[in-house]
């Protein structure tokens, strides 16, 4: 849909950004060229009076975005993880966005629950409170399950939120097209891809069954983690628009005074927050990508409990190994190794000078290690690292940026609990354990076993592939009667080697 509403929505957006003073900040952050600045002013300045006023107590960008509504708030939150697009300073401002939207009536929430779960609320829950939290997409009610008496949190989507988001996303696509047309140079920031990424994230959040699945997987991965708990979902009381999960009882992680008064060891809690994040990212490759104060509590027994799994991060095993080796190289101050890892992974082009890159990395690491504990920051190191790698031609890797932005949030949470926390001391045991288990002889043996299993699965096909390759080699102009598809371009020596390897693997398995 590309109707007139898109033009009207863009005018209203430009007017709001002008009225709140956010227009200049946003244009400067993305280094907008003159033509794009002119178009933005044309859409905003003459219609300034149509813009929303917003909360004057907020900074311009957050003031404009919160005034424009849920889709813009969520878009701002997701852009806060894309410092490569909006710059570090604006990303930090967007990260402070708070979903301070008014709740919708409890009767509407009950109607949604009854419709989706196909039973009256009273037959499912003996208690169902007024909203205890309201966000851009949903709100939460505290309830008690009638059958078990267990306290739960019931998350309910806002009525009509799906259609509202789709309308705004359509306008975002329209705006991205205009930006790329007016400013071809902006294509390096991939506006269309950014909007598509936002659309995929939001569409996932609008189906609470997917959040329940993420919570369930995360709980399974972390079940043996000491001093950590997850608000697990109740599948029988959940649906596309309703998510019921365990009620999390405890103190907010951001309330340091209350934690101290309750007798909790704040130093241990702060270290544990860092370690848990790194364990989940490195060990599992699946981590909570929204670990701010509002999504973490400290239970009476001292456990850290996480909830709200709408935004999760995922990185593959190879990337995890690279990330761990980079961190370990910095911890050991082995800058040559860090540089070599970047080149071996293909992150930095081979035609660059590895020694010069190592010296640039030293310039990043040494000032941080020379600081006292209160100034040592892994998040800052990663931010500086991305600046250096960009100068040496490294292409943007979205998964690493999300990891880095989450690290910034996690480190901020840990510092608020214990300002004297030494980030490196907290991180070192986790990274060291991962390196021992996943880099070296033990990891090589595991990799070889995986290769053998893969070759074993495809073993029955290899004779046919070898025969086809030999036929192609002997009859280059004739595919032959046995070929139904295209000719094989795989070297015969490689296929023969794979066949022998498969035979050995199968033999070892039988042995």
Q: What are phi and psi of 245, to 5 degrees?
A: -140, 170
Q: Alpha helices of 253-372 — where are they, by DSSP H? A: 256-261, 266-279, 317-331, 335-344, 354-369
Of 119, 154, 118, 161, the C-alpha closest to 136 is 161
Task: Choose, from 84, 290, 308, 418, the residue flagged as catalytic.
Answer: 290
99 is catalytic: no
Of 284, 319, 275, the C-alpha closest to 431 is 275
84-to-1, 29, 88, 395 alpha-carbon distances in Å: 29, 11, 8, 10
Residue 301's beta-bridge partner residues? none
For the chain, the first-to-last Cα distance in angstroms comes to 62
> Crossing angle, helix 60-68 and helix 70-79, to 10 degrees?
140
Give the torsion through C-alpha atoms of 325, 330, 334, 335, to 10 deg. Answer: 100
Residue 288's beta-bridge partner residues? 312
Residue 139's beta-bridge partner residues? 134, 156
288 vs 406: CA distance, rounded Å: 8
Known catalytic residues? 290
């Amino acid at each position: 849909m590309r109707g007139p509403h898109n033009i009207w929505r863009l005018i209203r957006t430009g007017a709001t950004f002008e009225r709140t003073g956010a227009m200049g900040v946003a244009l400067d952050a993305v280094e907008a060229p003159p033509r794009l600045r002119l178009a933005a002013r044309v859409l905003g300045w003459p219609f300034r009076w149509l813009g929303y006023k917003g909360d004057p107590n907020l900074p311009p960008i957050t003031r404009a975005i919160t005034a424009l509504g849920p889709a813009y708030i969520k878009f701002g939150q997701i852009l806060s993880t894309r410092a490569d697009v909006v710059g570090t300073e604006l990303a930090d401002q967007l990260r402070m966005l708070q979903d301070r939207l008014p709740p919708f009536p409890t009767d509407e929430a009950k109607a949604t629950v009854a419709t989706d779960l196909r039973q009256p609320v009273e037959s499912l829950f003996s208690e169902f409170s007024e909203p205890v939290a309201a966000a851009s997409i949903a709100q939460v009610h505290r309830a008690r399950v009638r059958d078990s008496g267990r306290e739960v949190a019931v998350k309910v989507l806002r009525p009509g939120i799906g259609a509202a988001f789709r309308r705004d996303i359509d306008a975002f696509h329209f705006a991205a097209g205009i930006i790329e047309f007016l400013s071809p140079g902006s294509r390096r920031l991939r506006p269309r891809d950014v909007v598509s990424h936002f659309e995929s994230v939001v569409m996932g959040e609008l189906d609470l069954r997917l959040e329940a699945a993420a919570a369930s997987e995360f709980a399974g991965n972390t079940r043996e983690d000491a001093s950590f708990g997850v608000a697990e979902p109740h599948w029988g009381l959940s649906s596309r628009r309703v998510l019921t999960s365990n009620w999390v009882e405890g103190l907010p992680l951001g309330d340091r005074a209350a934690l101290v008064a309750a007798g909790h060891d704040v130093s241990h809690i702060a270290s544990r927050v860092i370690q848990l994040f790194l364990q989940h990212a490195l060990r599992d490759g699946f981590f909570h990508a929204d670990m701010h104060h509002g999504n973490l509590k400290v239970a009476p027994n001292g456990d850290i409990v996480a909830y709200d799994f709408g935004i999760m991060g995922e990185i593959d095993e190879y990337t995890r190994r690279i990330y761990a080796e980079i961190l370990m190289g910095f911890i050991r101050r082995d800058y040559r190794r860090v540089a070599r890892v970047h080149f071996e992974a293909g992150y930095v082009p081979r035609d660059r000078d590895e020694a010069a890159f190592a010296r640039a990395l030293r310039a990043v690491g040494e000032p941080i290690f020379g600081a006292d504990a209160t100034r040592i920051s892994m998040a800052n190191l990663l931010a500086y690292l991305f600046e250096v790698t960009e100068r040496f031609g490294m292409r943007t890797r979205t998964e690493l940026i999300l990891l880095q932005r989450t690290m910034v949030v996690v480190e901020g949470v840990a510092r608020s609990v214990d300002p004297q926390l030494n980030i490196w001391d907290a991180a070192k045991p986790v990274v060291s354990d991962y390196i021992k288990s996943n880099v070296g002889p033990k990891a090589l043996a595991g990799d070889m076993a995986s290769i053998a299993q893969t070759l074993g699965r495809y073993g029955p096909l290899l004779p046919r592939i070898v025969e086809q390759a030999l036929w192609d080699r002997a009859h280059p102009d004739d595919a032959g009667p046995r070929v139904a598809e295209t000719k094989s371009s795989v070297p015969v020596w490689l296929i023969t080697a794979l066949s022998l390897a498969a035979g050995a693997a199968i033999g070892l398995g039988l042995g």
